[in-house]
């Protein structure tokens, strides 16, 4: 792939990674050099523009951006089709062109967050990922990506000469398929409330909370109060709640099933990467879970899946790498045209 130089940009670039819960911002001062990273709660701002202005006001307290910002790129947890972006898991809605005009930018790119994360994969160092199970990545082969957070993101990248082509996917909304009697019972219960049960409905923050409630109901366990996904995860990790442990174990196994489906669909010889805000925090719990066993459990094609490696992304802000690469490629293409 293209060699990365370290020469500083004439004007720093604004980067953002917008999820359903948090908005992450950074200034890229040179290729893959990110400064002034700040995480803002989405609920603290009425719209994206307000969050961006709050961040810009914060960084303008020093001389880093004394000449202002000309170019920006935003990765957002939502489909990006046309000019209007209306977030699926948050209330923010905006026009790309109007936001560009109001911020007085020369360039504003808005892409799906998992498209950006997919473009980060070739730039991850060895220390920024952990392999789960066996398999060996094949060079110049398709790479798949999925990750659970507020929702379930899915993407991938296809090699094309010296470049990668990202997939704009909404694969998190595919229909979930159960693999055993317990998952069938769970699905039958959820069907009462949701005629269509997507993978995201189960494999996400809201999915953890839903699984916890349904497993309790099927087990005749009375819940004193609802727990958040973070609380369920913590109880599973510290071993203080058997129901939480069962919930998170099933969550990891279900993620393995969907990851295996993605690997089969893409023919992902370059591997499958797991990102998002939930799994990287599970640590050894995830590594020792049924994830990899379920990933490979594809009957006659189990041997095929066994050859494909799975990696857990451990980089703190990996989406910045991808959205920066997309912006840089766009600006280079503009310069050459």
Of the candidates 216, 172, 168, which has an alpha carbon nearest to the alpha carbon of residue 197? 172
The Cα–Cα gap between 252 and 38 comes to: 30
Q: What are the backbone angles phi and psi of residue 232, rounded to the nearest 5°? A: -60, -45
Q: What global pTM score does this model have?
A: 0.86
pLDDT in 10s for each residue of the chain, 337 residues = 444 456 778 889 999 999 888 999 999 999 989 999 999 999 999 999 999 999 998 888 776 776 789 999 999 988 899 999 999 889 999 999 999 999 999 999 999 888 999 999 998 999 999 999 999 999 999 999 999 988 898 999 999 988 899 888 889 999 999 999 999 999 999 999 999 999 999 999 999 999 999 999 999 999 988 899 999 999 999 999 999 999 999 999 999 999 999 999 999 999 999 998 899 999 999 999 999 999 999 999 999 999 999 999 999 889 999 999 999 999 988 887 6
C-alpha 223, offset from chain centre: 31
Contact residues for 194 (Cβ-Cβ < 8 A; gap 6+)? 201
Which residues sit in the known binding site?
Answer: 16-21
Asked whether 258 and 276 are in contact (CB, 8 A), the reply is no
Contact 327, 13 (CB under 8 A): yes
In order of their start, the domains of the chain are 13-118+317-336 (3.30.420.40), 125-314 (3.40.367.20)
Residue stretches of the annotated binding site for ATP: 16-21
**What is the structure's pLDDT at 337?**
66
């Amino acid at each position: 792939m293209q060699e990365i130089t370290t020469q500083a940009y004439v004007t720093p670039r604004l980067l953002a990674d917008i999820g359903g819960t948090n908005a992450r911002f950074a200034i890229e001062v040179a290729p893959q050099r990110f400064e002034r990273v700040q995480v803002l709660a989405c609920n603290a701002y009425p719209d994206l523009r307000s969050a961006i202005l709050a961040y810009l006001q914060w960084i303008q307290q020093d001389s880093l951006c004394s000449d202002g910002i000309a170019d920006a790129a935003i990765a957002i947890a939502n489909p990006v089709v046309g000019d209007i972006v209306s977030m699926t898991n948050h209330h923010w809605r905006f026009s790309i062109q109007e936001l560009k005009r109001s911020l007085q930018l020369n360039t504003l790119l808005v892409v799906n967050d998992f498209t950006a994360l997919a473009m980060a994969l070739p730039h991850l160092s060895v220390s920024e990922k952990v392999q789960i199970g066996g398999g060996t990545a094949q060079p110049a082969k398709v790479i798949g990506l999925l990750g659970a957070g507020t929702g379930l993101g899915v993407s991938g990248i296809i090699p094309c000469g010296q470049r990668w082509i990202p997939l704009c996917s909404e694969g998190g909304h595919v229909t979930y398929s159960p693999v055993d009697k317990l998952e069938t019972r769970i699905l039958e219960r959820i069907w009462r409330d949701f005629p269509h049960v997507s993978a995201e409905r189960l494999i996400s923050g809201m999915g953890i909370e839903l699984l916890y409630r349904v497993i309790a109901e099927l087990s005749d366990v009375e819940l004193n109060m609802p727990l958040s996904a973070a609380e369920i995860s913590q109880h599973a990790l510290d071993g203080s709640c058997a129901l939480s442990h069962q919930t998170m174990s099933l969550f990891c196994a279900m993620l393995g099933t969907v990851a295996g489906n993605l690997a089969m669909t893409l023919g992902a010889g370059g591997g499958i990467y797991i990102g998002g805000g939930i799994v990287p925090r599970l640590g050894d719990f995830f590594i020792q879970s049924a994830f990899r066993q379920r990933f490979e459990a594809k009957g006659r094609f189990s041997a095929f899946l066994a050859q494909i490696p799975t990696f857990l992304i451990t980089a703190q802000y990996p989406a910045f790498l991808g959205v920066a690469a997309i912006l840089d490629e766009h600006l280079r293409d503009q310069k050459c045209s």
